């Protein structure tokens, strides 16, 4: 036998040897297909857990292969074995370093992925460098990979923490939804305690949340839960007051905020923002997302709002078995504290015969938690059927549950007790045993008038074999031996006979019973007791020998007996406190719901405690974002400005002026243009230029008036801004668009149309979408209706010639606005696609609608009326020239060809000087695409940048090229048939590049 085994082992080994030689040959062949085949086999080996490390040298040679599938398989191999073969792995590093510079983002990303997965400590500096570079990559996909690489590097070398935190800080500012989840994951792993890094990004994360991919949502939500518990004060105190306040909060927040609050608790608007923005995710198809929102509400929402999560949680019970298990566990914990919210769904927790045991037990647990005076009869009826289940472990658990109901609800204690006694005649032993144990506990809580039951149990004693049950009966008889004076000695007699064959636990209780009887009825039981004590003295178990010795000293008086024997009676027959029948989930609430620690009921590695609410609210202004910060513009709540943000107020005030003025002047425009719409385009150029400069001057003066009243810091800000404006007056309106406008929410629906195909030019998705939005109608002018617009830079779905515009309408009045629509009367010459009428807008609510406007490739304002049921407001949208384009992707070749066609009068150019900040490759591109919606055209030359777009209405190409002559100056050329637009764009770009 042994020989056969060993010989087969040898054969197996030799076979392996042979095939590995074969594989090596295949890998070293010149044929690509053979190599691929070999790699496939090797991956098969790895998958089965076989060792293929000896092939390392042969495999690593192929790392630079042109065949992408082969390359990927080599990557798989490399990551698996690099840790074992560190020296050889280093050979591949240069390939990755080269690939990190590849123009193809997928290749850059996968090179970084593999490089960071090779767990070789010597390359830590190289990884660090690669991560830093990738974190500033133009492609969000590469940046996402960089966020993942941070965690890998950290687990390889924790000393890099400080540097990695810097990268995390940078990536947290990223506004791509793709990156958000991954970087928060990195944050959670590397520096979860650096809560200060979150402050500035808090509002952005809240607003991006809906658009982040599902997995990222889970991570972000759990991080924000922890964050909120440290930054906001508890909404749970004085809940009634809070409730009233909630109403007021929605109705007219701003008016309220102005008057001093006498109310003791005001929810921080940021706290509210988080709750509001996570709520829609309860409808997610991903169960993990639903669960994480549910735990967020559980830990953060005012008690009366927690109810919203129940329906969604109950829905999850329809999902897979494993999902049910986790969800039921969490519901079990919740149902102890707030049974009210799950009570209406009680029937969803009814057990089905097909459920696995652990699901059944959990459902039972929840039903028991939910039991109250009103529903107990329904629940008990349900329990009746469970007791008869074929699954005996479950039946036993049901009996426990009945016991718990009986102690918790005094009304039914007797009924339950009687039911349990009937179960004692059940045929199944486990059921009987469990009943005995539960009855014992119940009797202890109400020891009077139950001698009948005890007698009954004593009768059953002979038939019960389960030790725990026998022990329980013995204990009961001993404890209440005075109530059953006749039966007790008889039971003891029987026990004396069978003592030697009993289980330990039964023996212990027999000794107890004997001792108690000796004290109460020594006449009848003296001999029996001594007999049992003698048996116990020579028992195998030391526990029983110990106990016997102790009892003997205690009860049998002799010359050596100590002081204790005087108290024997008081010791043994003391009245014992009744046991509490409690849920096993009682103490689980010390863990955050939805976590692994909660599931296993012990602290898992890396579990982050949820802190208690702070007693005093930390400074909420830390979350205010410096408006000047050019990285990104914060998007705040869609319904209301922040109370603490005084800068915000002044801004909106400022805009109000500008907005009104704009309306005024453009309506003049439209009246003249209606008569001579044909001459529009020519006129427009100069006119709008004038207007722009006028605007900026007036704004400047109004600003300087106002700023005198504000804080020092703000003054400084304003001054800086003023200086800037004076320097580049013409650019002022643009700058304002980007930086000062109150930003709006960035809804899910916003960027959905970016992949439409056009022939022959392929319209690509926008490289950059400015988050800023512009005031259309101020709430004061609009009698409570406020409107803001925003260019989502997406192809318009309503017509090819239209620019899509997104309106966010907010009702900041205290009454409901009805029938909001765009009026019939609009300026002529422009085709507007109206949004469908909004029937109702509740106070405090806001809605985002999209519309399309055909601007005819001009910057002339579109005038129209915004109507509600009662009022009409004239408004106008004036586009910036950069928004009249759609980005186009083309090759360098096509670009040259098209440029060749657009020479002569179609070409405008200017010499530019650039601010030093803009000279780097990325900064320049970023600047350009933020000014105008253009696509980047790849170029082979270092100092040459090309961008392409087409005008929305006519579809004419607009080609922009920047040729840098030296570090700070260059030539900007624009080729397009639309010369007017061309020259306007030229001016805008020129000023933008001159600014830092």
Partner 1 sequence: MIHSLFLINSSSDIFLEKHWKSVISRSVCDYFFEVQEKAGEAENVPPVIHAGHHYLINIYREKIFFVSVIQSEVPPLFVIEFLHHVAETFQDYFGECSESAIKDNVVIVYELLEEMLDNGFPLATESNILKELIKPPNILRSVVNSITGSCNVGETLPTGQLSTIPWRRAGVKYTNNEAYFDVVEEIDAILDKTGSVVFAEIQGVIDACVNLTGMPDLTLSFMNPRLLDDVSFHPCVRFKRWESERVLSFIPPDGNFRLLSYHVSAQNLVAIPIYVKQNISFFETGSSGRLDITVGPKQTMGKTVEAVFVTINMPKVVLSANLTATQGNYTYNPVTKTLVWDIGKLSQQKLPNLKGSLTLQCGAPKPEESPSLNIDLKIQQLAISGLKVNRLDMYGEKYKPFKGVKYVSKAGKFQCMAITIWLYIFTNKENSHLKC
Return the residue of 600, 628, 716, 910 that touches partner 1, per CB under 8 A. 600
Helix residue ranges per DSSP H, 644-781: 646-675, 680-707, 712-727, 732-739
What is the total count of residues that contact partner 1 (CB under 8 A)? 132
Q: To the nearest 10°, the Cα dihedral for 136, 141, 146, 147?
A: 110
Rounded to an integer, what distance in angstroms lies between the CA atom of residue 245 and that of residue 262? Answer: 11
Q: Which two tokens stand for residue 644?
A: 């603490």
Which is closer to partner 1, CB of 930 or CB of 973?
Answer: 930
Burial degree of 173 (CB within 10 A; 0-12, 13-18, 19+): middle
Give CA separation, 704 vs 455, 464, 712, 721, in Å. Answer: 96, 94, 13, 10
Q: Tell me the C-alpha distance between 794 and 199, whole Å.
A: 31
The distance in angstroms from the start CA to the end CA of the chain is 83
Among 12, 25, 69, 631, binds partner 1 (CB under 8 A): 69
- Shortest Cβ 36–partner 1 spacing (Å): 7
Q: Give the nearer residue to partner 1 in terms of CB position, either 68 or 122.
A: 68
Residues 439-468 that bind partner 1 (CB under 8 A): 452-453, 455-456, 459
Residue 117 carries which DSSP code? Answer: H
The binding track of 882-921 with respect to partner 1, each residue x by CB under 8 A or -, is ----------------------------------------
Please report, as residue ranges, which positions from 111 to 150 form the binding site for partner 1 (by CB under 8 A). Answer: 113, 116-117, 119, 139-141, 144-145, 148-149
> Measured from the CB atom, is 378 or 665 closer to partner 1?
378
Given a contact cutoff of 8 angstroms between Cβ atoms, the answer to whether 975 and 903 are in contact is yes
Residue 859: CB atoms within 10 Å: 23
Omega cis (within 30) before 415: no
Choose among 956, 947, 819, 827: nearest CA to 892.
947
In this structure, the dihedral spanned by the alpha carbons of residues 104, 107, 108 and 113, taken in order and rounded to 10 degrees, is 160
Question: Which 167-206 positions form the footprint of partner 1 (CB under 8 A)?
Answer: 177-178, 182, 185
Stretch that binds partner 1, among 461-469, 598-606, 859-867, 917-925 (CB under 8 A): 598-606
Distance CA 361, CA 394 (A): 7
State the nearest-atom distance from the C-beta of 683 to partner 1, in Å: 35
Exposure string of 955-982, with b = 16+ CB inside 10 Å and e = fewer, is ebbbbbbbebeeeeebebbbbbebebbb
Q: Which residue has the tokens 């930390």?
A: 618
Q: Which is closer to partner 1, CB of 606 or CB of 664?
A: 606
Least distance (Å) between residue 807 CB and partner 1: 13
What is the nearest approach in angstroms of partner 1 to the Cβ of residue 115?
12
DSSP H or E stretch at residue 863: strand 862-867
Beta pairing, strands 831-833 & 935-937: unpaired
Interactions with partner 1, residue window 966-995 (CB under 8 A): none
Which of these segments, 350-358, 575-583, 660-668, 701-709, binds partner 1 (CB under 8 A)?
A: 350-358
Among 250, 265, 325, 737, binds partner 1 (CB under 8 A): 325
Instruction: Find the shortest distance in angstroms from Cβ 353 to partner 1.
Output: 6
In the complex with partner 1, the residue whose CB is nearer, 10 or 755, is: 755
Measured from the CB atom, is 456 or 569 closer to partner 1?
456
The b-or-e profile of 352-372 (16+ CB within 10 A means b, else e) is: eeebeeebbbbbbbbbbbbbe
- Please, what is the minimum distance in Å from the beta carbon of residue 390 to partner 1? 7
Element (H, E) at 13: helix 2-28
Segment near partner 1 (CB under 8 A); pick from 415-423, 721-729, 854-862, 972-980: 415-423
In terms of CB distance, is 152 or 588 closer to partner 1?
152
Question: Least distance in Å: CB of 598 to partner 1?
Answer: 9
Which token pair is 752?
């959905």
Kindly tell me which of 205 and 974 has the beta carbon lying closer to partner 1: 205
Residue 76 lies near partner 1 (rule: CB under 8 A):
yes
Q: Kindly indicate which of the ranges 108-116, 697-705, 880-888, 956-964 contains the residues binding partner 1, using the contact rule CB under 8 A.
A: 108-116
Region near partner 1 per CB under 8 A, out of 413-421, 545-553, 661-669, 694-702: 413-421
Residue 70 engages partner 1 in binding (rule: CB under 8 A):
yes
Please give the residues from 35 up to 54 whose contact with partner 1 meets the rule CB under 8 A.
36, 40, 43-44, 46-49
Of 213 and 977, CB closest to partner 1: 213
By beta-carbon proximity to partner 1, the closer residue of 512 and 794 is 794
Segment interacting with partner 1 (CB under 8 A) among 159-167, 288-296, 781-789, 955-963 = 288-296
Alpha-carbon distance 264 to 245, whole Å?
10
Pairing of strands 944-951, 907-913: unpaired
CA distance 170 to 56: 38
Among 106, 527, 580, 780, binds partner 1 (CB under 8 A): 106
Q: Which is nearer to partner 1, 102 or 546 (CB)?
A: 102
Site for partner 1 in 240-279 (CB under 8 A): none
Coil, strand or helix at 450: coil
User: Please, which of residues 728-787 interact with partner 1 by CB under 8 A?
Assistant: 747-757, 765
Among 346-354, 514-522, 890-898, 925-933, the segment contacting partner 1 (CB under 8 A):
346-354
Q: Is 353 in the site for partner 1 (CB under 8 A)?
A: yes
CA 996 to mean position of chain CA atoms:
36
Does 285 interact with partner 1 (rule: CB under 8 A)?
A: yes
Query: By CB under 8 A, what part of segment 390-409 binds partner 1?
Result: 390
Identify which of residues 131 and 962 has a Cβ nearer to partner 1 in the complex: 131
Binding mask 14-33 for partner 1 (x = CB under 8 A): ------------------xx
- Provide φ and ψ at 29, rounded to 5°: -70, 170
Scanning residues 469 to 488, which ones bind partner 1 (CB under 8 A)? none
Is residue 421 involved in binding partner 1 (CB under 8 A)? yes
Q: Which stretch binds partner 1 (CB under 8 A): 54-62, 106-114, 162-170, 563-571?
A: 106-114
CA–CA separation, 606 vs 592, rounded Å? 13
DSSP 8-state assignment for residue 28: H
Hey, is 144 helix, strand or coil?
A: helix
d(Cα 537, Cα 544) in Å, to the nearest integer?
8
Q: Which residues 812-851 are close enough to bind partner 1 by CB under 8 A?
A: 838, 847-848
* Nearer of residues 189 and 681 to partner 1, judged by Cβ: 189
Q: What is the CA radius of gyration of the chain?
A: 39
Residues in contact with 653: Cβ distance below 8 Å, sequence separation at least 6, in sequence order: 706
Structure tokens, 509: 């209780």
Q: 483 vs 187, 460, 517, CA distance in Å?
A: 67, 18, 12
Determine which residue in the list 11, 321, 590, 727 makes contact with partner 1, applying CB under 8 A.
321
**Interface characters, 203-242, with partner 1 (x: CB under 8 A):** -------xx-xxx--x---x--------------------
Query: Residue 280 CB, nearest distance to partner 1 (Å)?
Result: 5
Under 8 Å between Cβ of 277 and 207: yes
Non-local CB neighbours of 906 within 8 Å, separated by 6+ positions: 975, 976, 977, 979, 982
- Cβ 566 vs Cβ 352: under 8 Å: no
């Amino acid at each position: 036998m042994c020989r056969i085994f060993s010989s087969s082992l040898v054969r197996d080994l030799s076979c392996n040897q042979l095939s590995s030689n074969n594989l090596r040959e295949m890998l070293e062949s010149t044929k690509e297909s053979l190599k691929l085949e070999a790699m496939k086999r090797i991956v098969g080996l790895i998958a089965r857990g076989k060792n293929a490390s000896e092939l390392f040298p042969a495999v690593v040679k192929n790392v630079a292969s042109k065949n992408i599938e082969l390359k990927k398989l080599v990557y798989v191999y490399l990551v698996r074995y690099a840790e074992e073969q560190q020296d050889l792995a280093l050979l591949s590093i240069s390939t990755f370093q080269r690939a990190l510079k590849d123009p193809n983002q997928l290749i850059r990303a996968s090179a970084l992925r593999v490089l960071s997965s090779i767990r070789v400590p010597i390359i830590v500096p190289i990884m660090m460098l690669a991560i830093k570079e990738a974190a500033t990559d133009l492609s969000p996909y590469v940046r996402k990979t960089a966020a993942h690489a941070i965690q890998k590097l950290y687990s390889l070398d924790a000393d890099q923490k400080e540097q990695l935190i810097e990268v995390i800080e940078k990536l947290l500012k990223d506004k791509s939804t793709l990156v958000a989840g991954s970087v928060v994951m990195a944050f959670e792993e590397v520096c979860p305690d650096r809560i200060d890094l979150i402050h500035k990004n808090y509002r952005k994360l809240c607003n991006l949340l809906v658009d982040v991919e599902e997995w990222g949502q889970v991570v972000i939500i759990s991080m924000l839960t922890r964050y909120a518990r440290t930054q906001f004060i508890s909404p749970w105190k004085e809940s009634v007051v809070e409730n009233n306040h909630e109403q007021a909060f929605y109705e007219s927040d701003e008016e309220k905020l102005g008057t001093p609050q006498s109310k003791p608790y005001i929810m921080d608007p940021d706290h509210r923002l988080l709750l509001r923005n996570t709520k829609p995710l309860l409808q997610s198809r991903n169960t993990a997302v639903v669960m994480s929102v549910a735990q967020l509400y559980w830990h953060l929402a005012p008690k009366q709002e927690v109810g919203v999560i129940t329906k969604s949680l109950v829905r999850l019970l329809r999902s897979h078995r494993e999902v049910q298990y986790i969800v039921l566990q969490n519901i079990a914990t919740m149902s102890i504290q707030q049974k009210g919210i799950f009570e209406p769904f009680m029937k969803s927790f009814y057990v089905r015969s097909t459920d696995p045991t652990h699901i059944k037990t959990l459902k039972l647990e929840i039903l028991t938690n939910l039991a109250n005076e009103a529903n107990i009869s329904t629940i008990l009826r349900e329990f009746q059927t469970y007791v008869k289940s074929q699954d005996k472990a479950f039946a036993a658990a049901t009996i426990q549950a009945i016991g718990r109901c009986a102690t918790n609800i005094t009304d039914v204690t007797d009924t339950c007790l009687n039911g349990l006694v009937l179960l004692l005649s059940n045929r199944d032993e486990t059921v009987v045993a469990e009943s005995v144990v539960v009855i014992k506990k119940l009797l202890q809580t109400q020891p009077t008038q139950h001698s009948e039951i005890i007698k009954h149990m004593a009768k059953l004693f002979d038939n019960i074999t389960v030790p725990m049950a026998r022990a329980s009966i013995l204990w009961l008889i001993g404890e209440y031996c005075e109530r059953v004076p006749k039966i007790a000695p008889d039971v003891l007699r029987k026990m004396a006979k069978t003592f030697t064959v009993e289980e330990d636990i039964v023996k212990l209780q027999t000794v107890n019973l004997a001792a108690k009887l000796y004290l109460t009825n020594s006449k009848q039981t003296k001999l029996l007791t001594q007999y049992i004590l003698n048996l116990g003295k020579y028992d195998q178990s030391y526990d029983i020998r110990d106990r016997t010795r102790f009892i003997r000293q205690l009860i049998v008086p002799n010359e050596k007996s100590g002081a204790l024997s005087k108290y024997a009676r008081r010791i043994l027959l003391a009245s014992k406190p009744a046991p509490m029948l409690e849920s096993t989930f009682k103490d689980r609430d010390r863990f955050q719901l939805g976590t692994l620690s909660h599931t296993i009921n012990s602290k898992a590695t890396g579990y982050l405690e949820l802190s208690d609410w702070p007693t005093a609210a930390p400074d909420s202004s830390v979350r205010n974002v410096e408006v000047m910060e050019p990285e990104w513009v914060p998007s705040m709540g869609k319904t209301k400005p922040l109370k603490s943000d005084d800068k915000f107020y002044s801004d909106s005030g400022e805009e109000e002026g500008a907005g009104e003025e704009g309306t005024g002047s453009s309506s003049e425009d439209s009246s003249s243009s209606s008569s001579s719409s044909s001459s529009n385009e020519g006129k427009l150029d100069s006119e709008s230029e004038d207007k722009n400069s006028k605007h900026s001057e007036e704004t400047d003066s109004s600003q300087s008036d106002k700023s005198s009243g504000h804080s020092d810091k703000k003054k400084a800000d304003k001054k800086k801004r003023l200086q800037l404006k004076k320097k580049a007056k013409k650019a002022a309106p643009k700058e304002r668009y980007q930086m000062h406008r109150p930003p709006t929410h960035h809804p899910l629906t916003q960027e959905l149309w970016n992949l439409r195909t056009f022939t022959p030019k392929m319209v690509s998705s926008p490289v950059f979408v400015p988050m800023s939005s512009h005031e259309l109608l101020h709430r004061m002018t609009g009698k409570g209706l406020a409107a803001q617009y925003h260019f989502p830079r997406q192809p318009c779905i309503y017509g090819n010639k239209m620019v899509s515009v997104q309106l966010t309408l907010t009702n900041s009045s205290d009454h409901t606005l009805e029938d909001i629509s765009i009026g019939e009367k609009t300026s002529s010459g422009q085709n507007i696609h109206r949004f469908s009428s909004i029937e109702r807008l509740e106070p405090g609510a806001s809605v985002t609608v999209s519309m399309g406007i055909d601007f005819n490739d001009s910057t002339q304002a579109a005038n129209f009326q915004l109507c509600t049921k009662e009022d009409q407001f004239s408004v106008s949208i004036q586009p910036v020239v950069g928004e009249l384009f759609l980005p186009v992707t083309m090759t360098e070749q096509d670009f040259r060809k098209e440029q060749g066609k657009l020479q002569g009068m179609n070409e405008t150019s200017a010499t530019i000087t650039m601010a030093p900040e803009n000279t780097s490759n990325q900064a320049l591109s970023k600047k350009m695409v933020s000014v105008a919606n253009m696509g980047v055209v790849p170029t082979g030359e270092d100092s040459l940048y090309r961008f392409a777009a087409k005008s929305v209405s006519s579809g004419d190409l607009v080609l922009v090229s920047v040729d840098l002559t030296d570090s700070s100056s260059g030539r900007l050329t624009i080729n397009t048939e639309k010369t007017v637009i061309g020259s306007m764009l030229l001016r805008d770009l020129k000023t933008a590049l001159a600014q830092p």
